[in-house]
Amino acid sequence: MTKFHRYTGSIGVVVVATLSATLLSAQDDWRTTYSLYGNQGIIDMPSAVAPPDGEIASTVAVFGGNERATFTFQLLPRLTGSFRYSQIDTYDRSFDIQYQISDEGQYLPALAFGLRDFIGTGRFSAEYLVATKTFGPNVRVSGGLGWGRLGSLDGFTNPLGVLDDRFEVRPDDSIDTGGTVLAGQFFRGDAAFFGGVEWRLNEDWAVLAEYSSDIYQRETDLIGFERKSPLNFGVTWNPSEMVQLGAYYMYGTEVGVSATLALDPKTRTAEGGLDSAPLPVLERAAGVAAAASWGVNGAPASGVPVLGQVMQSDGFRLLGAEVSGNTMRVRYENTVYRSEAQGVGRVARILSQLAPDTVDRFILEPTQRGIALSAVTVQRETLIALENEPDAAARVLARTRFADAAGPAPVIAYDAGAPSFLWGVSPYATVTLFDGNNPFRGDVGLEASFEYEVRPNILISGSYRQSVLDRSDDDPSISASTLPPVRREVALFGADTGGGIEDLYIAAYGRPGRDLYSRVSLGYLERQFGGISTELLWKPVNSRFAVGAELNYAIRRDFDLGFGFQDYDVITGHVSGYYAFDNGFQAQVDVGQYLAGDIGATFGLDRVFDNGWKVGAFFTLTDVPFEDFGEGSFDKGIRIEIPVDSLIGTPTRRTTATTLRSLERDGGARLRVNGRLYDVIDGGHQDQMTQTWGRFWR
């Protein structure tokens, strides 16, 4: 071997070793590129990159008469789901899913397969296999094989035809109403290759180039889209961890732009640590003289008011307390902290300061809506011994006991003097998305609301809205249906008056027995219906499983949102099953009769993060044929609930929630009732408290 060959060989080894060492790290710290379809990709083509687990991304993209708005959620580390609202000549809704089969390794690429528009009208329908490999710190290459739209340019005979000749022909399963799974098309018809490259200039900027296998035939036919080249070029800019902006030159004729906002629900968007400091744990003082101040042996309970005042200053409402032997039981309401585990930790430390020296254990009973959720037993010596120890929260949890709190309240009741009447006036904004003829309708105005507490478990609540700028009735697209109009005429409510009573009802909560919870609500329950709603829930404190039953009598309200009703009433109700998995997922199935009289079931799956974020999806199938249901075929959607404390950094139990439906119609419509039992009690049971037990010492 010559000296030159020896040097070049050595250089080659060094280069290969350096590349190999940087392959995985480059992939790990390289942000996901969101394509014009709003999910992981290059420009218009997909990639096998998986966004961080739990990431939520919202993308708006425009080019050549195409408009797309996409919501994407990384359901699991390898599984991505997307919901898209698009406009070509008309508005269209579609769902995508992608699964990463394998991670990128030192030598092998990441590999994924995906289904694009697999639930919808089929206008964007495509399937693909794609591989992605990172070379060095700044180059990422993707290539794949596509079917459907991704097999429309220079397509060749489907290689899956060797398995079954039916793969060689792609049937036209697209339907006008959309909303059904187009399984008959999956991986059928011609196949074609696509690919592209991403070159990262620095942490914020990247340039992109790709070869697209989509011929854009539909757009050419419908809006005169001109496609001269299969090559697309672009540049992306990431001004922050949450934002991606892109500009593109598409298909040799068009300029496009995109904007993506990506959030990680596992982290706080606002700086935390703004909670007030909790009281420290106090070791017992000598003597037992303090016992008399807690009503022991018939003595006056002068210590209870002191406890109530201290707890109130820390965001808790004391409802009752008692001392029995070496045990102190306290029932209270957590009014500030989202996590009941954080509330338990703070109340336990307060008791370590104020409880009699003879007390060895605390039984803490958090409540919501006046009903006790659980009985959490914490040993006093455990607090004293572990307050400043490593892994203290986990070690306290191991010694903590959870039990049912059904039964009488502590013998010494306490009136905290909390206001029984609360009211306020605030602005509101509502948005209706994805209507077939109008993608955006909304209403902005003022809302006056109040809540009067008759007793801790009985409340009267109401709200009145007055619109200032109302576009909710602009082209409401009320299409004909064989079903009663229980939802499709929502835009007509308040349209003439500009506002009215949103809800006005009385609700009573109870504990009829061990592991049982009850609710009765009466009045104007929601914007479109009034009546009476009754509910019973069985859920043991330490169980992941719960069963509930709800029975309602609902009457349709007048369009003016006053006190009157229309000539439509219905008995509706469901039997519901709930299950909390140990990976943060919660499943719910509701079986029964809906507002339009149809019978069926709703299936829901939510992912609940430790910081309170909740993202989920649902769908409803009833005995209403898809043709009678109309556009969308069946009810389905995505729901998001965000704890306000993660946005503002200060403790609060308030949340903000929204539901994105592909289209709301009459089939599968359920009565909307505030304060359903599972949502009220779940946070105070063992599973949810364990999930957030890390906040015990905060």
What confidence tens digit (pLDDT) does each residue in 147-202 have? Answer: 999 999 999 999 998 888 888 888 875 555 556 677 778 899 999 999 999 999 99
pTM of the complete model: 0.86
d(CA 396, CA 378): 8
Cβ distance 223 to 65 under 8 Å?
A: yes
Nearest of 413, 405, 357, 35 to residue 214 by alpha carbon? 35
The two three-digit tokens of residue 457, written as one number:
């478990």
pLDDT score for 104: 94
Could you give the count of Cα atoms lying within 13 Å of 277 in the half-sphere of its Cβ? 3
pLDDT score for 2: 38
pLDDT score for 292: 46
The two three-digit tokens of residue 215, written as one number:
């011929």
Helix (H/G/I), strand (E/B), else coil: 488: coil
Alpha-carbon radius of gyration of the chain: 30
pLDDT score for 471: 58
d(CA 9, CA 18): 14
Low-confidence ranges of the chain (pLDDT < 50): 1-27, 287-292, 297-299
pLDDT score for 570: 97
pLDDT score for 664: 75
